Homo-oligomer: A and B are copies of this chain.
């Protein structure tokens, strides 16, 4: 076994999920994630936790959904009971075909998702962590050879998370103390209020309220957005390639938009509901183990020297206790990414925090460059 598979399992079980003796663990395994599942089972056993292994297959899910009449039962007892009695849920993505769900009608997917709201809530109450085992299908999606993709994925996953968490704590401190953020680059000059918000240091561990491995971003929930922003990182949204999105905000809402490719996807998102016109997230990517875009949000939005903004739903974790219901509400949460590695700066309360990808606590930083 590639020793990185065992290291991945160790990071997942120990750093990310903090599995402890007696924990009831559900391990969701993708069809091609078997190898990592074996390594994770070993770590779960070592810790004296209790393991149930579930099979998470796009083909199985598709066959079931397409054959069903669409009137899905609400929160089936057996799955709800499993989830309500779980302490930790580890989900290892790694299918054989990233497009497996492409012919399941969106309304069927939505009906199924809606019928499982109680299960999803029980799941969110666990110490859940999502990761991926680098598979050939994911390599293909990233337009890489299998070996190249494994290098890429493990560079992103096998970080020194403790020191990255310390590094990100600096960014969190700046955001927590600040009131207004400004991003400036080509076709971009955007200001947002972050007054009374709590930034999350997303250090790939439930101990940091962070549930993805890899992670490596600091995010908050902006408001009162004004100005324009240009997203130069191409992305697949709802199965469509979307390129060079440009948004204009007034009074916190999108008033104009354009895209070089599949502009209508952006229009559809904005039309979802009122919340879809507002930003739900501002994220600062700080994982420098990720050095290229692979059309996977799990990796792309964490990339060092990038900033992402999401239209739609905000996370309650960005609000002070008791104020979680002030989070922007929407049925969607769509991330878009802009490269800030050069000719750009990020200001908080009028002071430059990052210029051309370099933070002010790093060597080579020049506020006025």
Contact = CB atoms under 8 A, between A and B. Distances in A.
Contacts of A51: 64
Interface in A259-305: none
B45 A66 contact: yes
How many identical chains are in the complex? 2
A85 B78 CA distance: 5
A68 B79 CA distance: 26
Contacts of A57: 34, 37-38, 53
A53 B60 contact: yes
Contacts of A81: 78, 81-82, 84-85
Nearest to A34: B31
A103 interface: no
Interface string A1-35: 00000000000000000000010101101010010
A60 B41 contact: yes
Contacts of A68: 45-46, 48
Interface stretch (A69-77, A141-149, A196-204): A69-77
A177 interface: no
A53 B50 contact: no
10 pairs of A and B residues whose beta carbons are closest in the complex: A45-B67, A50-B76, A81-B81, A78-B85, A55-B55, A45-B64, A45-B68, A24-B78, A42-B63, A82-B82
7 contacts: A34-B57, A37-B57, A39-B63, A46-B67, A50-B76, A53-B56, A78-B83
